Amino acid sequence: MRNQNQKRITLADVARHAGVTTMTVSRYLRTPLQVAPVTGKRVAAALEQTEYVANKQAGILASGTSTMVAAIIPNIAHSIFSETVQGLSDVLELHGFELMLASSGYSLEREQKQIRAMMGWAPFALVLTGRHHTPHSLHMLQAAHAAGTPVVEMWDHTSSLPEFAHIGFDHAAAGALMAEHFVSRGYQDLMYVDSGVVQDFRAHERAKGFAQTARNLGVKTRSLQAMSGNPVAAGRQLLKELVGSQPLPRAIAFANDQLAVGALLEAIDQNIAVPEKMALLGFGDFPMAAQIGGGLSTVATPCYEIGQSVGQWVVNCRSGPQAKLSRESGNKKLPALLHPQLIHRHTS
Amino acid sequence: MRNQNQKRITLADVARHAGVTTMTVSRYLRTPLQVAPVTGKRVAAALEQTEYVANKQAGILASGTSTMVAAIIPNIAHSIFSETVQGLSDVLELHGFELMLASSGYSLEREQKQIRAMMGWAPFALVLTGRHHTPHSLHMLQAAHAAGTPVVEMWDHTSSLPEFAHIGFDHAAAGALMAEHFVSRGYQDLMYVDSGVVQDFRAHERAKGFAQTARNLGVKTRSLQAMSGNPVAAGRQLLKELVGSQPLPRAIAFANDQLAVGALLEAIDQNIAVPEKMALLGFGDFPMAAQIGGGLSTVATPCYEIGQSVGQWVVNCRSGPQAKLSRESGNKKLPALLHPQLIHRHTS
DNA sequence: ATGAAAGCGCTAACAT
DNA sequence: ATGTTAGCGCTTTCAT
């Protein structure tokens, strides 16, 4: 295939039109001040006429530096990640970068293949989600870093290797925050409903932080795992089963808002008074949280901001002749650690 | 920047390790059967040892054919589009393609810039959302198409230019479907709440289809525009104002589920019986639709499937030596027109 | 079955 | 301020 009838316009075409060499056109495009105003005008006209669009591949190959940023996230369809990608995309676009995106479906093996595929593009930077990767992935990332490619891990409070950047928050601390909130409201019999996604390490860390803190505060706590599939339906189902089988916990925290809303809807249907009989606490503060059941108490995570910060961090890597410097001290102003906030609404 | 200490491994490195020329390695990678089994083993070992990752830019430049697909959508954070991207991404990955993504924020001017940027990458195919573009965008797309790049428009029932493919559905017909549903349920006093996003052409087409059909069926109908911003809050606000000022319509259709759910939540809070006093109908069938207020009636749109189909269509463009053929007849089996389905639940 | 030569479209480095 | 030369890492084409 690809039997183009109309060949694409090249620098040489433009140069011919303008009566100069390709170098002059190339210079005009990148450092217009280095070309005489008169020639510049001719070049500009030629660019207009020919509707030239520079071939990025050729440029990258020749210059050894790309404007493409590769990002791998667990799931594009999850609102927290799609918002992060939107933030990342917005900042990158503003600075003339392009975004290549892959979705791992929470599979580290799939992520490994994607890292390999991405590296073939020699991207300007590599953006990953979380600090958990296969040993071989880590090996590849390390090699990429050694070859000068910045590596960032999003959504976590530490990186897999010290040389990688990270922008996110401490999920165990977030879990602790949730437990503390319950205890401060006087609830003594707690429960945490963890994500049904086995590889959602961050949700599990929140679960751990929650349990540990509850125990430290001398409060009873249990833990349950939601079913996979539609999380709203799973939350509903879970509460239904809970009501049928055992005494209800006084307060339940969820791995995400979707699960919490499912449980809340079921509680409303079953006439369980929230929060009088049972308190509910979500995680994520998704757009509907404030609107439902008098307002779902939850933890606000700066999804869009994480994306933005990652984008800004990557952009900062470009400036300054020494990558090391710009990547270490130059990026000091950007916070690596963000702080989720507990939003106390009606359900707790 | 980009002062790599460890240079990346090239074909030449691998060839040296294996004691062959670069051509043999290159052949082994693409057409392994053309290389003798004995040599193949040596090459394979060298590839292992060196951990070679092929440089895509160089390959594309030399061969003139890329494995990158460029897609532009209005908003990554909107669930319908993020699911579409997930479907697209899943299919593309399965076939060894990579995805470059941009988000236009519903701005045709921004889209135009993004098309230009994308074209610099000489992608294998261009994927756009909808059939509305600036004249200059159209011009560029036409040029890309003429140069052999497949162009697909998603989410619409026709394409901007006849030579472009399109995979989606007729939004006016979807609007009609909504009006017909209301009328068939015996509701006579209708209302359509349109999207607050000015450039959401598809929502406006649904509004038109709705109004026209209602009138054709001899039924009263009005139209309103939601505020922009959080659509759930907007839906709530809208219903609140409606209750305060005028006689309520018997049935309200919304441009999307988020708006409908907002209104539904407000109706519940105000003790307006749904659907006895007022029927509500959403659009999109987002994950929460089935769970809220006894089940929100809505129109299911095949978001993920649209993405998949687009991906499959693009993949099909690769096979067959004649692009024309594979793009026209070879893709006949793929449906260009999908059909949204009315899901009748509790609220209508 | 393998190799040698040429070149994809651009830019870095060195003239002039 | 502009041009010349060489080469980025790969594939195509044409030998052998």
Amino acid identity at A256: N
Note which residues in 64-93 of chain B have CB less than 8 A from chain A: 64-66, 68, 75-77, 79, 82-83, 85-86, 89-90, 93
Handedness of CA B115, B117, B119, B122 (dihedral sign): negative
What's the whole-number average pLDDT of chain A? 93
What local confidence, expressed as pLDDT, does residue B258 receive?
Answer: 96
| Backbone φ/ψ region at A19: left (φ over 0), alpha (ψ -120 to 50), beta | left
Across the interface, of B56, B143, B233, the residue whose CB is closest to A121 is: B56
Query: What is d(CA A106, CA A200) in angstroms, rounded to the nearest whole number?
Result: 7
Question: Would you state the structure tokens that stand for residue B88, as one six-digit string?
Answer: 């697209």
What local confidence, expressed as pLDDT, does residue B322 receive?
Answer: 36
Tens-place pLDDT, residues B23-82: 999 999 999 999 999 999 999 999 999 999 999 999 999 999 999 999 999 999 999 999
Q: What is the Cβ-side half-sphere exposure of residue B71, based on CA atoms within 13 angstroms? A: 30
To the nearest whole Å, the CA of A213 is away from the closest chain B CA by 32
Task: Tell me the Cα Rg of chain A.
Answer: 26
Cα angle for residues B332, B333, B335 (degrees, 5° grid) = 90
Q: Which residues contact A160 (CB under 8 A, 6 or more apart)?
A: A131, A132, A133, A138, A141, A153
**Three-state DSSP state, B191:** strand
Partners of residue A68 in chain B, C-beta under 8 Å = 100
Question: Would you state the structure tokens that stand for residue B29, as one six-digit string?
Answer: 């990678």
Tens-place pLDDT, residues A76-93: 999 999 999 999 999 999
The reply to whether A21 Cβ lies less than 7 angstroms from strand D is: yes
Mean pLDDT of B211-235: 95
Query: What is d(CA B200, CA B193) in angstroms, rounded to the nearest whole number?
Result: 13
Q: Which residues contact A35 (CB under 8 A, 6 or more apart)?
A: A24, A27, A28, A43
Query: What is d(CA B106, CA A308) in angstroms, rounded to the nearest whole number?
Result: 19
**B12: nt with nearest C1' to CA:** D9
Question: What is the CA B129 to C1' D12 distance in angstroms?
Answer: 36
What local confidence, expressed as pLDDT, does residue B117 receive?
Answer: 97
Question: Is the pLDDT reported for residue A277 higher than 50?
Answer: yes
What's the DSSP call for residue B341?
E
Question: Would you state the structure tokens that stand for residue A38, as one six-digit string?
Answer: 């008169």
**Three-state DSSP state, B168:** strand
List the one residue out of A300, A279, A98, A64 whose CA is nearest residue A184. Answer: A279
Element spanning B251, H or E = strand B251-254
Amino acid identity at A77: A
List the one residue out of B175, B199, B120, B148 whose CA is nearest residue B299. Answer: B175
Question: Is the pLDDT reported for residue A1 higher than 60?
Answer: no
User: CB B89: neighbour CB atoms within 10 A?
Assistant: 25
Query: What is d(CA A44, CA A24) in angstroms, rounded to the nearest whole number?
Result: 11
Cβ proximity of A11 and A26 under 8 Å: yes
3-state secondary structure B53-66: CCCHHHHHHHHCCC
Mean pLDDT of B8-24: 96
What local confidence, expressed as pLDDT, does residue B224 receive?
Answer: 94
Question: Is the pLDDT reported for residue A4 higher than 90?
Answer: no
**At B89, is the pLDDT very low, low, confident or very high (cuts 50, 70, 90)?**
very high
Mean pLDDT of A309-336: 68
Question: Is the pLDDT reported for residue A329 higher than 50?
Answer: no
Partners of residue B122 in chain A, C-beta under 8 Å = 8, 55-57
The reply to whether A36 Cβ lies less than 7 angstroms from strand D is: yes
What's the whole-number average pLDDT of chain B? 93
User: CB B2: neighbour CB atoms within 10 A?
Assistant: 16
- With CB atoms and an 8 Å threshold, state whether B83 touches A77: yes
Give pTM, 2 decimals. Answer: 0.94
**Three-state DSSP state, B104:** coil
How many angstroms separate the Cα of B255 from the Cα of each of B79, B201, B209, B285?
14, 11, 12, 12
Query: What is d(CA A71, CA A123) in angstroms, rounded to the nearest whole number?
Result: 10
Q: Which residue is nearest to nucleotide D7 (CA to C1')?
A: A62
Query: What pairs with residue B40 in β-bridges?
Result: none
Residues of A (9-28) placing their beta carbon closer than 7 angstroms to any atom of strand C are 10-12, 22-23, 26
Q: What percent of chain B has pLDDT over 90?
A: 90
Query: What is d(CA B343, CA B348) in angstroms, rounded to the nearest whole number?
Result: 10
Question: Is the pLDDT reported for residue A254 higher than 90?
Answer: yes
Q: What is the Cβ-side half-sphere exposure of residue B62, based on CA atoms within 13 angstroms? A: 8
